[in-house]
Amino acid sequence: MSATRAVSHLVIVGLIGPIAIAMRPAGDESVRLTRQDHQVDVSVGGRPFTTYFFDPAQAKPYLQPLRAASGTVVTRGFPIGNDVPEAHAKDRSLEPHQRDLYFAHGDIDGVNFWAEEAFSRFYGSQSLPFGRTVFRTLDAVTSGARDGVVRAEFALQSKQDVLGTEIQAFTFSGDRTT
């Protein structure tokens, strides 16, 4: 990776739920993180909250679905992986790269990390080549009595070169109402 690259490292810190560590109420719920292949399932208070997907087959990592404390899913159920259900394929507002919760850039050194090549049939003409946020390592998967932490490293990759490194770190916590 060239030292002259405009982007060498990106640090992403995602904070899910209330995390004012110093001011936590006594009723906080435990957080359990469970890794399975290229995903980490997140449960708060014994109830599913979300799953962190980082499969190299997808163009970028994402969290899906997101649930309220009641268990109600508050995000759409697709795409998972690289598939869009046929019932939604003709939806004029469809933007399949809009996963439930993710971080991406439209242009890094002339490469589009926002849209995804797997969904190119849904886009108009694209002026930039597609990039991928490729999983390298999972540095932390820590469950706890009051919070849980996931930390992962990714390569920002064009078809020819690695343009930079992205670190994603998420801290999950909650109580019975959040």
Residue 82 lies in a domain: no
pLDDT at 112: 87
pLDDT at 119: 59
Percent of the chain, pLDDT > 90? 43
Q: Say how far residue 21 (Cα) sits from the centre of its chain.
A: 23
Q: Where residue 12 falls among pLDDT bands split at 50, 70, 90?
A: very low
Q: For the chain, what is the domain count?
A: 1
**Contact, 144 vs 39, CB < 8 A?**
no
Q: What is the DSSP string of 52-64?
A: EE--TTSSS-EE-
pLDDT at 98: 57
pLDDT at 103: 84
Q: Where residue 123 falls among pLDDT bands split at 50, 70, 90?
A: low
**Contact, 177 vs 49, CB < 8 A?**
no
Percent of the chain, pLDDT > 70? 65
Residue 177 lies in a domain: no
pLDDT at 115: 75
HSE-CB for 155 with a 13 A CA cutoff: 13
Residue 80 lies in a domain: no
Residue 4 lies in a domain: no
Q: Where residue 177 falls among pLDDT bands split at 50, 70, 90?
A: confident
DSSP-derived pairing of the beta strands 9-16 and 162-172: parallel
Give 33-68 pLDDT, tens digit per residue: 999 999 999 999 999 999 999 998 888 999 988 898
What is the domain range of residue 32?
9-69+99-172
Residue 116 lies in a domain: yes
* Residue 121 confidence (pLDDT) above 80: no
Q: How far is CA 114 from CA 45, 58, 137, in A?
A: 33, 12, 21
pTM of the model: 0.74
Q: How far is CA 25 from CA 29, 102, 130, 165, 170, in A?
A: 10, 29, 45, 36, 21
Residue 16 lies in a domain: yes
Residue 141 lies in a domain: yes
Give 125-167 pLDDT, tens digit per residue: 667 888 999 999 999 999 999 999 999 999 999 999 999 999 9
